[in-house]
């Protein structure tokens, strides 16, 4: 029996195709898959980030799962609603399909500590840097976290990857990357690597050179 998701958490597919034991690439949405737009809620504002579609296609060619995990505090703030979010997701999916690729799974969290009633530790686990969105995607897809990476433009993306037990993260300078680079790079630890890249295109080059996802 599937445990119902809490209010404020959205998943694109409750039963995605599983990739048992495969590595996965987790992507932040805004600033990684699409160009950063403060509180993106209009489909006409969706523009794929440079190299994002190519990165997803490469990952699938290597047998990797690809999941997006995204904080969407604009919902908690009342800037837009889930129907607006879903319309944006439909446009992102359309543009990715036009490039010949698709995401395996998307998980979104609408919580915000200042705008969610009764915000507590349970909410904080879902909102990045909490690990619960990655935990959920990993469980649904059946992936091996110890060989999986996150790509994000914020330190909270990197910290979420570390909290979820991933092998490492790549921090990019797209989106909020320039102001977040310093904090992101301090999150490296033994067994958790943080790599600097300019954008998703350079992230792909770095991952490809390292044979990311290869079985140990």
How do residues 149-198 score in pLDDT, each as one tens digit? 999 999 999 999 999 999 999 999 999 999 999 999 999 999 999 999 99
Distance CA 22, CA 131 (A): 19
Question: Among residues 7, 30, 45, 84, which one is catalytic?
Answer: 30
pTM: 0.95
pLDDT higher than 60, residue 2: no
Distance CA 193, CA 185 (A): 9
* pLDDT at residue 210 in the model: 80
Distance CA 85, CA 192 (A): 32
> Which of 132, 129, 108, 112 shows the shortest CA–CA distance to 120?
112
Q: Based on the residue annotation, tell me whether 114 is a catalytic residue of this protein.
A: no
* pLDDT at residue 214 in the model: 60
- Two tokens, residue 3: 């445990």
With tokens 């543009």, the residue in question is 95
CB 69 within 8 A of CB 160: yes
Distance CA 124, CA 130 (A): 6
Question: Among residues 7, 28, 38, 114, which one is catalytic?
Answer: 28
pLDDT higher than 80, residue 211: no
Q: Based on the residue annotation, tell me whether 30 is a catalytic residue of this protein.
A: yes
CB 36 within 8 A of CB 154: no
Strands (E), the chain: 9-11, 24-27, 65-71, 105-109, 149-152, 168-172, 193-197
* pLDDT at residue 213 in the model: 63
> Which of 165, 162, 210 shows the shortest CA–CA distance to 188?
162
How do residues 54-79 score in pLDDT, each as one tens digit? 999 999 999 999 999 999 999 999 99
How do residues 87-108 score in pLDDT, each as one tens digit? 999 999 999 999 999 999 999 9
């Amino acid at each position: 029996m599937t445990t119902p998701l809490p209010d404020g958490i959205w998943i694109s597919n409750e039963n995605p195709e599983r990739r048992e034991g495969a590595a996965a690439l987790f992507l932040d949405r805004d600033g990684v898959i699409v160009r950063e737009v403060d509180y993106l809620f209009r489909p006409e504002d969706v523009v794929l980030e440079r190299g994002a579609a190519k990165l997803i296609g490469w990952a699938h060619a290597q047998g990797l799962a690809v999941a997006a995990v995204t904080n969407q505090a604009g919902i908690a703030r009342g800037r837009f609603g889930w129907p607006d979010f879903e319309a944006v997701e439909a446009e992102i999916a359309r543009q990715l399909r036009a490039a010949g690729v698709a995401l395996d799974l998307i998980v979104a969290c609408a919580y915000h500590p200042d705008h969610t009633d009764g915000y507590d530790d349970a909410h904080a686990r879902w909102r990045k840097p909490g690990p619960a969105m990655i935990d959920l995607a990993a469980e649904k897809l059946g992936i091996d976290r110890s060989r999986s990476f996150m790509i994000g433009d914020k330190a909270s993306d990197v910290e979420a990857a570390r909290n979820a037990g991933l092998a490492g993260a790549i921090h990019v300078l797209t989106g909020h990357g320039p102001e977040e680079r310093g904090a992101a790079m301090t999150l490296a630890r033994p067994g958790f690597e943080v790599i600097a890249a300019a954008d998703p295109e350079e992230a792909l080059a770095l991952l490809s050179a390292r044979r990311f996802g290869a079985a140990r």
